[in-house]
Amino acid sequence: MSADIKFAPDFTLQGLDKNGETTIFRLDDLLAEKKPLVLYFYPKDDTPGCVAEASDFRDNMEEIDKIAVVAGISPDTIESHSRFREKYGLTFALLSDPDRKVIRAYSALSQTSVLDKVVWGTVRSTFIISPDKKIAASWREVRVLGHVSEVLSELKKMQQG
């Protein structure tokens, strides 16, 4: 997503809700509580960086839940998300984007070279989306350590007006 795009692209994806039930998610559904949405993109379930990031969100959900909704998106399957959620006790939505359409719409897709082959991968990125679908804050090429604290700090600033 280029810097001049101010509104979050709409989407419809299948995923697991915070209770682990399979459902269809639309951007409007995630914003229905009239709270900001923390939408984060991550490369792959059950890999070290993704576990650390998801666990950090999980460990801060009591505080985050008061002011925002969290959803993670990766190209992994619902089955993979289910194992990931259960293994780490995750209590927020995990959405599946196997075609990477939403990942691409948010410019969270990047080309890299692995063993002389060009491959596409998900760039760890986070967006705070206001209830009126505006991008209120964004982070690209996220470094996991301390990131959730930064997101929480930004949410608190937004809450104070």
Token pair for residue 84?
Answer: 């990931």
Residue 50 CB burial class (10 angstroms; 0-12, 13-18, ≥19): buried
Any idea what DSSP says for residue 12? E
Cα angle for residues 151, 102, 77 (degrees, 5° grid): 95
Report the catalytic residues. 50
